[in-house]
Amino acid sequence: MTFWIDRGHWGRGIGSQALALLLAQVPERPLLAGTLVDNLGSLAVLRRNGFREIGRERILARGRGIEVEVEAIRLRLD
């Protein structure tokens, strides 16, 4: 699953609140998540909701319009 919040709505807690609501509905644990190292907003949303870093890896970021190799952070919620 991915999520996207329009830049005009950043910083209002929408992502954190939406993830908290989802986590309340999904009892299975552990849950794994990932984000690119330079996506500080998504990283903050995940950490605010209890996810902790478990590793990093290099991946292709096709969603950026070109295929570039970037570092991704892997996170886990127990």
Quote the CA–CA distance of 46 and 76 in Å, as a whole number.
9
Average pLDDT score, the chain: 89
pLDDT of residue 68: 72
Domain assignments of the chain as residue spans, ordered by start? 29-78
The encoded tokens of residue 45 equal 């949303």
Confidence of residue 58 (pLDDT cuts 50, 70, 90): confident
CA distance 22 to 76: 15
Q: What average pLDDT does the segment 4-13 reach? A: 92
Burial class (CB in 10 A: 0-12, 13-18, 19+), 23: middle
